[in-house]
């Protein structure tokens, strides 16, 4: 406390307490806010939300709800957490396309986002499976690397979220598959191996630069994007390096074939190694690409590990595979001891190796060059480069219902991540408010007491009067504008209602058309079913006839062959055929019953559709009635609006209205032309479709007629053959034996031909059905297209009429506009003084626009005042007459002002003639006079061009006129003094004028030269730009040609190196099985080691428990013995007490002589009694 007091004193003296306290609190809050906003922070907003959700999930069990505090907490937060879960991203936001991978903890799915329609790979990790195993924290490293890597060599994580059962990671989809798939499909040449090894080196360098070691580099974890470039995935085995670039681990992590010796030595010991273990895996991967198998492959896992440990002697290159010297050198440099391994001093020594030298790419542009194999994709969800995986029908295990708090969800708090997180994002607000500041103060100059000053005052009074009159006019104009706005608002509402009605009507018409189409299809189906039923009935009749004929034959055979065994066999055969025919008859009857049922169902559907059709027609009629009513209201309002517009007689407003109408009409004409063009284009398209449909129909009819003819010919031929066979059978029936043989052969041929006839008949029927379907559909399309064409033609006629009417209206409006413009020009010449008022009008208009919202609220009141508008119209007419009277006054005043201006101009000319010989003052004054005169003239002529600048120019004009008057007075005084100097100045003036003329000529020449030079420069610049454009075009074309060439070469190499599919399938299956086998062996070994460790641990615990039990049993025996001794002592004391009681009783009975003998005994037992008392 003593040490802190001086610090506090210094703080108090440095700054006042409240300010420092507030500043300190603000800085702490900013730090806290930065922690919540930072996605890498453990307490960011997503982690806090995860914590609340996990707590609610872990507590929401019946056993835990018995606790009152937990129940209160859940009652408070359960609903809001459920709402929060519904609002956050969830698995229902994605459509699953296919499962493309499955592992021990879950699976990888190809998904499509429902709203954005983007394709992703989504990894599902089971929380239950991960918590079952001890090494389940791998997903944190994987999530952090993919989320924050920001490298083109790493698969990107777009979002991570969770529910109560799974963790979800939405990642970038790599449609090219992995390098295992590529190696199984192609014989990889050294050129390809060089490319992919270089990309793996760059990808690992990116991981190492993040301070991590991958530890499981293998082709399974190298994925290819849609351009064929490589990216690393599966970062579950990654580990953070310390300051020295090393990691410490006591378990061997990785795949057996790619694991390095130093990682293998770490199993069960103190493993300490660096990033060089990844470069070993790169060497194994390069060897596998060039040779086709890993360098240390063995039949057993022990053999593989022994070869890896003895890599100096076990590394051999096969003689039947061509490998360059540089490739062998780099593989040997990778597959060596860690102390001398390539890459131990950094990635630069790998990049500088001779193996990577080529003329197609370098380390900086490798990702921009064309890859050796670009995957051929049919769509964005093409998964042909991944193995087909069967759906997992079994449900995964879930957490059991706990009886106490377990905290299963706590391990996953903070897992949620979004790359584009919108929570707590800053939205810049525009806080700058423009406040218009107008300086209304005017400078007042002291006027001299002369005639000019009096005239100016009179002129100012006239201007004030005109301004008052103008204010009155503005008020009347405001009233008219309010009425106009009210009518416009009503008109807009009606237009909106009309648009809504038309849209609903269009929707109903489209649904009506859809129902009609469905009705036509159902009618077609009904007809088809009827035809099928008839056909089945015919078939049934034919079968019955066949059965009857077979029965007759059977009876004949029975009559003929009663005594022979062969005839009995034939009878049984015929009986079988009869049974089969009966079975066929039953199936045909079933199918006919089914078809009848379908027919009844289709009729019911048709009736329902007709009812729907009637309802839609009723709705359509109601909508048409409402549309007519709204159109009538619209016409009434238009007439009212036109009457209001007619009342507006002010010239400028009429011109603005007419200009707006002309622009609207021009836009309508343009729209009409556009719609006409669209209609014509649609008409052409429909006509083209019609012609195409007719052609297809004619082709189909020709094909079907030809097919029918061919089938008929075949049928006729078969019937002829059938008759011939029957004749032959009749001839052969004469002899008994020949009858039997011929009959058997004939029956076989009959069966074959019958089956062939049935198949051909079915084919013909199917073809006919398809043709009828197509014809009906084409007829429907034809009818619809004809209806559309008729409707479009009607619309075209209407639009053409509208266009003609609009053109007539435009011509009338243009004529009116020309007349009004002529009037306006006359008025502009007469109403120069009203410019100030017009500017004020504009300002007030802007002000009126700003208070439009308040005026809209008063619309209801204005509707009530509409009845009083007629009376006000009369007053407005009176005011208009007064305005006309005032306009005549204005004209007279303007004429007077013009005469005054002309007089002033004459005076100025006289002054200019007198003061031509003056020096610099004369020049400046003459220039100012000319400027003012030109400004006055330009202001009178150019009102339409510079309306906004008029007030400023008018002020300047007045000021200049005052200055001119002052200067004129001054010059009158100075004329007498300067008459003497005029003669000398005239000569100087002549010389100066000649010099000025010369200079002007020189200036013109220089200007001409400058223009020529500028034109040349512009021409040169244009040529240079053209050359630049040509150059860029040629460069683009050259780059395109190069890429096309490289792609063609790569494609050719891809085709050349593609393996035989049978061999490829067998090899891939064998290699996959071997890898899976090895992986399973590795897992089995690790599980065994874990089991042995667990057994040792449990054995130790059992031994300790047994020792404790033995000690406890010994203590128990000792305690039992002590208890037994105590019990014996108690028994002895009880016996002694009894003896004492007996002695006391005897002493009371006996005489006094015996008391001495009795008193001797208690002396012996005193100690025991004393001990008992103390106890």
Closest CA to 192 of 1043, 1066, 1052: 1052
Q: State the Cα–Cα distance between residues 998 and 992, nearest whole angstrom.
A: 10
Q: State the Cα–Cα distance between residues 513 and 784, nearest whole angstrom.
A: 9
C-alpha 849: how far from chain center: 40
The tokens describing 1093, both together, are 């460790």
SS3 at position 95: strand
Q: State the Cα–Cα distance between residues 284 and 295, nearest whole angstrom.
A: 7
Is residue 216 part of the annotated active site? The answer reads yes
Q: What does 736-786 look like in DSSP terms, one character per residue?
A: HHHHHHHHHHHHHHHHHHHHHHHHHHHHHHHHHHHHHHHHHHHHHHHHHHH
Q: What does 964-1026 look like in DSSP terms, one character per residue?
A: HHHHHHHHHHHHHHHHHHHHHHHHHHHHHHHHHHHHHHHHHHHHHHHHHHHHHHHHHHHHHHH
SS3 at position 715: helix
SS3 at position 449: coil
Interacting residues of 342 by C-beta distance below 8 A, sequence separation 6+: 279, 330, 333, 334, 336, 349, 350, 353
Q: State the Cα–Cα distance between residues 277 and 259, nearest whole angstrom.
A: 8
Tokens 């930072």 identify what position?
Answer: 38
Residue 107: in which H helix or E strand, if any?
strand 106-113
∠ CA 963-964-968, rounded to 5°? 120
- 288-306 burial, b for 16+ CB within 10 Å, e for fewer? bbbbeebbbbbeebeebbe
Cα dihedral across residues 348, 352, 356, 357: positive or negative: positive
Q: State the Cα–Cα distance between residues 759 and 458, nearest whole angstrom.
A: 116
**Residue 226 buriedness (CB in 10 A; 0-12 / 13-18 / 19+):** middle
Tokens 């034939």 identify what position?
Answer: 570
Among candidate residues 58, 144, 205, 216, the one labeled active-site is 216
Residue 537: in which H helix or E strand, if any?
helix 451-560
The tokens describing 226, both together, are 């849609």
Q: State the Cα–Cα distance between residues 1041 and 1045, nearest whole angstrom.
A: 6
- Given a contact cutoff of 8 angstroms between Cβ atoms, the answer to whether 88 and 378 are in contact is no
Closest CA to 225 of 175, 191, 263: 175
- Given a contact cutoff of 8 angstroms between Cβ atoms, the answer to whether 595 and 533 are in contact is yes
Q: Is 551 annotated as a binding residue?
A: no
Radius of gyration of the chain measured on its C-alpha atoms: 54
The tokens describing 926, both together, are 């003459």
Question: CB neighbours (10 Å) of residue 271?
Answer: 19
- Helices then strands, counting H and E runs in the chain, come out as 27, 12
Q: State the Cα–Cα distance between residues 460 and 962, nearest whole angstrom.
A: 13
Q: State the Cα–Cα distance between residues 370 and 373, nearest whole angstrom.
A: 8
SS3 at position 171: strand
Active-site annotation, residues: 216
| Sequence ranges of the binding site for ATP | 123
| Sequence ranges of the binding site | 123
């Amino acid at each position: 406390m003593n040490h802190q007091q001086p610090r506090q004193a210094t703080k108090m003296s440095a700054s006042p307490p409240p300010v420092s306290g507030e500043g300190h609190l603000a800085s702490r809050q900013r730090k806290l806010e930065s922690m919540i906003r930072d996605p890498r922070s453990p307490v960011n907003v997503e982690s806090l939300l995860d914590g609340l959700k996990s707590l609610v999930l872990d507590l929401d069990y019946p056993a835990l709800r018995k606790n009152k505090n937990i129940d209160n907490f859940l009652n408070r937060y359960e609903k809001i957490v459920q709402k929060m879960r519904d609002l956050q991203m969830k698995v229902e936001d994605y459509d699953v396309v296919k499962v493309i991978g499955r592992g021990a903890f879950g699976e990888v799915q190809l998904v499509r986002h429902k709203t954005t329609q983007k394709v992703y790979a989504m990894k599902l990790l089971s929380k239950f499976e991960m918590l079952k195993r001890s090494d389940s924290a791998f997903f944190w490293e994987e999530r952090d690397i993919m989320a924050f890597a920001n490298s083109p060599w790493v698969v990107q994580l777009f979002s991570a979220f969770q529910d109560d059962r799974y963790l979800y990671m939405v990642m970038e989809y790599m449609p090219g598959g992995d390098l295992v798939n590529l190696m199984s499909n192609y014989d990889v040449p050294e050129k390809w191996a060089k490319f992919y090894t270089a990309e793996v080196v760059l990808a690992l360098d990116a991981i190492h630069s993040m301070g991590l070691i991958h530890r499981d580099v293998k082709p399974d974890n190298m994925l290819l994007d849609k351009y064929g470039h490589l990216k690393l995935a599966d970062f579950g085995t990654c580990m953070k390096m310390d300051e020295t670039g090393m990691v410490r681990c006591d378990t061997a992590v990785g795949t057996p074939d790619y694991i390095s010796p130093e990682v293998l030595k770490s199993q069960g010991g103190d493993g300490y190694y660096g990033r060089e273990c990844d470069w070993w895996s790169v060497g194994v991967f390069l060897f596998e690409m060039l040779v086709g198998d890993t360098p240390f492959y063995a039949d057993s896992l022990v053999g593989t590990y022994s070869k890896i440990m003895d890599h100096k002697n076990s590394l051999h290159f096969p003689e039947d595979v061509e490998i360059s010297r540089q490739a062998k050198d780099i593989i040997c440099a990778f597959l060596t001891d860690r102390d001398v391994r390539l890459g131990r001093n950094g990635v630069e020594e790998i990049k500088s190796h001779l193996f990577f030298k080529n003329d197609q790419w370098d380390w900086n542009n490798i990702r921009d060059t064309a890859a050796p194999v670009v995957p051929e994709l049919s769509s964005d969800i093409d998964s042909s480069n991944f193995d087909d995986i069967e759906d997992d029908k079994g449900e995964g295990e879930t957490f059991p219902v706990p009886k106490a708090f377990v905290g299963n969800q706590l391990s996953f708090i903070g897992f949620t991540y979004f790359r584009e997180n919108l929570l707590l994002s800053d939205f810049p607000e525009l806080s700058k408010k423009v406040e218009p500041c107008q300086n209304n103060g005017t400078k007042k100059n002291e006027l001299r007491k002369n005639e000019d000053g009096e005239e100016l005052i009179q002129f100012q009074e006239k201007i004030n009067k005109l301004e008052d009159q103008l204010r009155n006019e503005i008020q009347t104009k405001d009233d008219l504008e309010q009425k106009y706005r009210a009518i416009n608002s009503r008109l807009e509402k009606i237009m909106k209602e009309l648009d809504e009605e038309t849209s609903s009507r269009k929707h109903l018409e489209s649904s009506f058309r859809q129902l009609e189409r469905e009705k036509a299809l159902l009618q077609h189906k009904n007809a088809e079913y009827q035809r099928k039923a008839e056909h089945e009935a015919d078939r049934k009749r034919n079968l019955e006839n066949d059965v009857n004929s077979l029965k007759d034959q059977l009876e004949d055979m029975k009559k003929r062959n009663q005594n022979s065994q062969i005839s009995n066999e034939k009878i049984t055969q015929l009986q079988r055929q009869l049974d089969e025919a009966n079975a066929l008859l039953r199936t045909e009857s079933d199918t006919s019953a089914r078809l009848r049922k379908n027919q009844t169902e289709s009729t019911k559907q048709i009736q329902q559709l007709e009812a729907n059709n009637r309802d839609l027609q009723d709705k359509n009629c109601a909508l048409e009635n409402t549309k007519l009513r709204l159109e009538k209201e619209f016409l009434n309002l238009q007439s009212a609006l036109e009457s209001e517009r007619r009342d507006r007689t002010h010239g400028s407003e009429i011109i603005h209205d007419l200009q707006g109408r002309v622009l609207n009409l021009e836009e309508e004409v343009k729209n009409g032309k556009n719609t006409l063009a669209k209609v014509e284009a649609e008409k052409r398209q429909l006509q083209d479709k019609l012609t195409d449909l007719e052609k297809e129909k004619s082709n189909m009819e020709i094909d079907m007629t030809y097919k029918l003819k061919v089938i008929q010919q075949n049928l006729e031929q078969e019937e002829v053959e059938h008759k011939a066979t029957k004749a032959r059978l009749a001839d052969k029936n004469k002899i008994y034996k020949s009858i039997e043989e011929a009959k058997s052969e004939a029956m076989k041929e009959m069966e074959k031909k019958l089956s062939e006839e049935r198949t051909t008949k079915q084919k013909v029927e199917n073809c006919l059905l398809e043709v009828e379907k197509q014809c009906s559909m084409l007829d429907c399309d034809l009818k619809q297209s004809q209806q559309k064409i008729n409707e479009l033609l009607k619309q075209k006629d209407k639009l053409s009429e509208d266009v003609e009417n609009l053109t007539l209206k435009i011509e009338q409006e243009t004529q009116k506009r020309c007349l009004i413009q002529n009037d306006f020009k006359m008025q502009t010449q007469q109403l120069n003084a009203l410019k100030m008022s017009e500017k004020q009008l504009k300002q007030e208009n802007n002000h009126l626009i700003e208070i439009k919202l308040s005026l809209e609220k008063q619309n209801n009141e204005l509707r009530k005042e509409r009845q009083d508008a007629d009376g006000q119209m009369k007053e407005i007419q009176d005011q208009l007459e007064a305005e006309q009277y005032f306009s005549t006054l204005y004209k007279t005043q303007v004429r007077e002002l013009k005469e005054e201006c002309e007089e002033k101009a004459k005076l100025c000319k006289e002054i200019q003639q007198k003061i031509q010989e003056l020096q610099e003052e004369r020049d400046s004054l003459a220039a100012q006079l000319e400027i003012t005169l030109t400004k006055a003239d330009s202001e009178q002529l150019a009102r339409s061009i510079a309306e906004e600048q008029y007030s400023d120019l008018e002020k300047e004009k007045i000021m200049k006129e005052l200055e001119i008057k002052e200067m004129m007075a001054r010059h009158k005084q100075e004329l007498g003094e300067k008459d003497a100097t005029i003669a000398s100045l005239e000569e100087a003036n002549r010389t100066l004028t000649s010099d000025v003329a010369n200079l002007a000529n020189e200036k013109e020449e220089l200007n001409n030269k400058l223009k020529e030079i500028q034109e040349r420069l512009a021409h040169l610049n244009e040529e240079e730009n053209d050359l630049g454009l040509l150059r860029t075009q040629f460069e683009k074309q050259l780059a395109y040609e190069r890429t096309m060439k490289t792609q063609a070469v790569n494609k050719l190499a891809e085709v050349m190196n593609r393996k035989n599919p049978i061999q490829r399938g067998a090899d891939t299956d064998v290699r996959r099985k071997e890898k899976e086998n090895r992986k399973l062996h590795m897992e089995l070994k690790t599980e065994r080691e874990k089991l042995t460790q667990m057994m040792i641990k449990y054995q130790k615990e059992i031994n300790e428990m047994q020792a404790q039990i033995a000690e406890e049993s010994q203590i128990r025996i000792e305690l039992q013995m002590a208890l037994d001794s105590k019990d014996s002592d108690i028994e002895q004391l009880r016996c002694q007490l009894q003896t004492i009681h007996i002695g006391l009783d005897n002493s009371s009975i006996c005489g006094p002589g015996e008391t001495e003998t009795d008193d001797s005994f208690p002396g012996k037992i005193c100690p025991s009694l004393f001990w008992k008392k103390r106890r």
